[in-house]
């Protein structure tokens, strides 16, 4: 490996900046040795901030109804083959109870944009979870809402919000979404969420149709401007009932390289090794951790609905119970020399709610 590559990575680590040229080189020309150097640099940074602790977030996929029609997503409203479900408030609370018994201290309520769950209903669910589990963090991932709605969710006790921006480039955004959705609005939502006080997660899929290296570079610039607390990155995987059904999946290797680059640029950010990464490669989550990720998001949804929240084909862990996923992931982490931390796993700079 040339010392010039090593110096470029050290420079990136010091300045927290990457050029388009270096990004292109890493994604299309770097040697195996250079890629390993990048990943080991990222791994060391993650360990210097988080040790060998991996944070767990229990994911509760509470509705697969969605009013949106994103071209890549299996639960888009036009997919008439999707078998739709909604969890009741009692079912959601019982998922949290089960999660708490298993040691989870963060619950992520994720769903399609489902108007059935009015702001009142969301606030009620959030405050009931916080009442039952005051030491736990509640994360919402329910799409684009108004500033006022986000403020209500925050005041009801929600701590964090995940809203991948999907792509920072408007033209690329328009190739992935119908005209009713805009990248500018999605980015504004992220700024609103941050201003309100949420710990905020943005993110992209790797390998979406028409994505270029320039797009990924723009995504990095957007993230540097936003300074999110969490960044969700996973490969795009086609779903058979979407307009992108014949499109190739995103590359696992590119996903790992981007994870490493993000760890170097954002040493303290919460970086999940996603279920999509685990679906694209049986060892994807382990590889993600070894590339610098530090979060896992096992499924806490009831087993009878798991095979219905299908964003993409072949999703893993749809036949398992929460307890099985918990044991499996803890063992997988131990095997690579890491351990699951029994903590809320806030961003290292988080000092409490305002
Ligand atoms: N409705 C909420 C929202 O818009 O943020 C949360 C649910 S949405 C289905 C969660 C994420 O799934 C999206 O942000 C997208 O990045 C990811 N996703 C959707 N379809 C996917 C696919 N085919 N492959 C990989 N990830 C996908």
pLDDT in tens, 148-195: 999 999 999 999 999 999 999 999 999 999 999 999 999 999 999 999
d(CA 114, CA 61): 12
Q: Per-residue confidence at 353, pLDDT binned at 50, 70, 90?
A: confident
Pocket test for ligand 1, best of 65, 164, 255 (most atoms within 8 A of CB): 164
Residue 151: count other Cβ atoms within 10 Å of its Cβ.
18
Name the residue with the closest Cα to ligand 1, atom 11: 164
d(CA 322, CA 339): 18
Pocket test for ligand 1, best of 63, 64, 69, 72 (most atoms within 8 A of CB): 72
Residue 334: count other Cβ atoms within 10 Å of its Cβ.
12
Q: Per-residue confidence at 319, pLDDT binned at 50, 70, 90?
A: confident
- For residues 62-87, give the mean pLDDT: 98
Helices (H) and strands (E) in the chain, counts: 14, 9
How many residues make up the chain in this entry? Answer: 354
d(CA 37, CA 249): 26
Q: Which DSSP category does 141 fall into?
A: E
58 φ, ψ to 5°?
-85, 115
Give the pocket of ligand 1 (CB within 6 Å): 72-73, 110, 112-113, 141-143, 163-164, 166, 205, 234, 236-237, 239, 276, 311-312
Q: pTM of the prediction? A: 0.98
* Closest C-alpha to 128, from 95, 85, 161, 163: 95
Q: How far is the CA of 142 from the centre of ligand 1 (A)?
A: 10
R_g of the chain, CA atoms, integer Å: 19
Return the bridge partners of 111, or none.
63
299 neighbors 102 (Cβ within 8 angstroms): no
Task: Give residue-wise pLDDT tens across range 35-51.
Answer: 999 999 999 999 999 99
Domains of the chain plus CATH, in order, are 3-341 (3.20.20.70)
Give the distance, in angstroms, between the CA of residue 312 and the centroid of all CA atoms in the same chain: 15
Signed CA dihedral, 170, 190, 110, 290: sign only: positive
Task: Give residue-wise pLDDT tens across range 186-224.
Answer: 999 999 999 999 999 999 999 999 999 999 999 999 999
Q: Which DSSP category does 248 fall into?
A: P
203: its two tokens: 């993110």
298: its two tokens: 């096992």
How deeply is 343 buried, as exposed, middle or buried, from its count of CB atoms within 10 A (0-12, 13-18, 19+)? middle
Q: How far is the CA of 130 from the centre of ligand 1 (A)?
A: 26
């Amino acid at each position: 490996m040339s010392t010039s590559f090593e110096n470029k990575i050290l420079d990136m680590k010091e300045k927290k900046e990457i050029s388009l040229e270096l990004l292109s080189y890493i994604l299309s020309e770097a040697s195996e040795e250079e890629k390993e150097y990048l990943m080991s640099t990222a791994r060391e940074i993650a360990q210097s901030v988080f040790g060998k602790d991996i944070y767990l977030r229990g994911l509760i996929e509470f509705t697969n109804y969605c009013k949106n029609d994103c071209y890549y997503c299996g639960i888009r409203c036009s997919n008439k083959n999707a078998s739709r479900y909604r969890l009741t408030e009692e079912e959601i609370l019982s998922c949290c109870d089960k999660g708490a018994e298993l040691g989870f201290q963060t619950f992520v309520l994720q769903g399609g944009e489902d108007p059935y769950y009015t702001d009142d209903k969301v606030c009620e669910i959030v405050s009931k979870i916080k009442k039952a589990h005051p030491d736990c963090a509640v994360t919402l991932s329910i799409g684009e809402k108004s500033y006022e709605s986000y403020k209500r969710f925050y005041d009801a006790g929600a701590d964090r919000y995940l809203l991948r921006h999907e792509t920072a480039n408007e033209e690329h955004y328009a190739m992935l979404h119908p005209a009713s959705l805009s990248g500018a609005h999605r980015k504004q939502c992220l700024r609103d969420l941050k201003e309100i006080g949420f710990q905020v997660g943005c993110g992209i899929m790797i390998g979406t149709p028409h994505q270029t290296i320039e797009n990924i570079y723009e995504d990095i610039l957007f993230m540097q401007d936003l300074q999110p607390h969490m960044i969700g990155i996973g490969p795009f995987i086609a779903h058979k009932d979407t307009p992108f059904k014949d499109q190739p999946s995103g590359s696992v290797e590119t996903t790992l390289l981007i994870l490493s680059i993000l760890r170097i640029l954002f040493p303290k950010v919460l970086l999940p090794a996603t279920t999509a990464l685990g679906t694209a490669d049986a060892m994807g989550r382990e590889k993600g951790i070894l590339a610098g990720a530090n979060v896992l998001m096992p499924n806490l949804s009831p087993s009878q609905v798991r095979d219905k929240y299908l964003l993409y084909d072949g999703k893993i862990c749809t036949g398992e119970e929460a307890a099985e996923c918990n044991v499996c992931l803890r063992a997988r982490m131990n095997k690579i020399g890491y351990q699951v931390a029994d903590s809320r796993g806030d961003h290292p700079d988080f000092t409490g709610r305002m």
